[in-house]
Amino acid sequence: MHKKFKAIFSMLLVTLLIFAGCSTGGANTNESKENADKNSEVVFYVTRHGKTMFNTVHRAQGWSDTPLTDDGVKVAEQLGKGLKKEQISFTSAYSSDAGRARETARLALKNNGQSDVAVKKSKNLREVCFGSYEGEHDEVMWGDAGKELGYDSYEEYMKAIGSGESSVPEMLGALKKIDKSGMSEEWDTVKERMQKELKSIAEETAKEGGGNVLVVAHGMSILSMISDMTDETPEGGQLANASVTKITYKNGKFKVNEVGNMAYVESGASKE
């Protein structure tokens, strides 16, 4: 009986060790996968949409939407061609739900030879909402915000913006106070939703192995998103239509590599 008991005990011990080994192996596998996800690099090519009708006639265009002009279509196509020349392909593409952003994404992908990549739309990638000033002349909107801040005219306020005496975040704060609809958004509100969406896309893409991601959004919203990621600003303080702001994501951290780059558009416009 004693020998039999020892044999049974030995078998149980071996079995437990085998299961323990399997369990540890599974944990190690899961841990390795999690580390691989974190280490997968995601590269964002964040671009502003092509030029629209409201851009052309200088009217406020946030949540309101107008179609791309001929120039807007052209610059979106040139962006796609330039990206193709650089052999940059995308694993996925995103845009705001505005027609101008979705059309820009579609045209860029088509001219990059990637019409098969579906464009996922998100409300979080929208431009700033200007509330009751949507569709208003830019001069009126900025002038009214300037007066709320103590400036006598649109021209005076534009000089203050240009010199750094005032800023876009300050302007949006003033607009929030005077907007009768109560719908206008402040800078930090836009930054929060934009960064939330960027992080969500980054984490999802990293889990799938990383890669290049095209994101088509809007001038102010993009600048708000990167405002605490970099000190770099675009020339003239504004992002040009179809310019590219490149952002990398790795190990849970974002890094802005370039802001408002027009090289892809310029390359796409070249006949060489």
Q: What is the CA radius of gyration of the chain?
A: 25
pLDDT of 46 reads 99
pLDDT of 1 reads 47
Q: Beta-strand (E) ranges in 169-267? A: 211-217, 244-250, 253-261
Predicted model pTM: 0.86
Nearest to 157 by CA among 169, 176, 144: 144
Q: How many CB atoms lie within 10 A of CB 222?
A: 26
Per-residue pLDDT tens over the stretch 58-109 = 999 999 999 999 999 999 999 999 999 999 999 999 999 999 999 999 999 9
3-state SS class at 181: coil
Report whether 83 contacts 264 (CB < 8 A). yes
Structure tokens at 98: 């505005």
| DSSP per residue, 62-128 | SSS---B-HHHHHHHHHHHHHHHHTT---SEEEEESSHHHHHHHHHHHHHTT-TTSPEEEEGGGPPP
Which H/E stretch holds residue 222?
helix 219-226
pLDDT of 235 reads 84
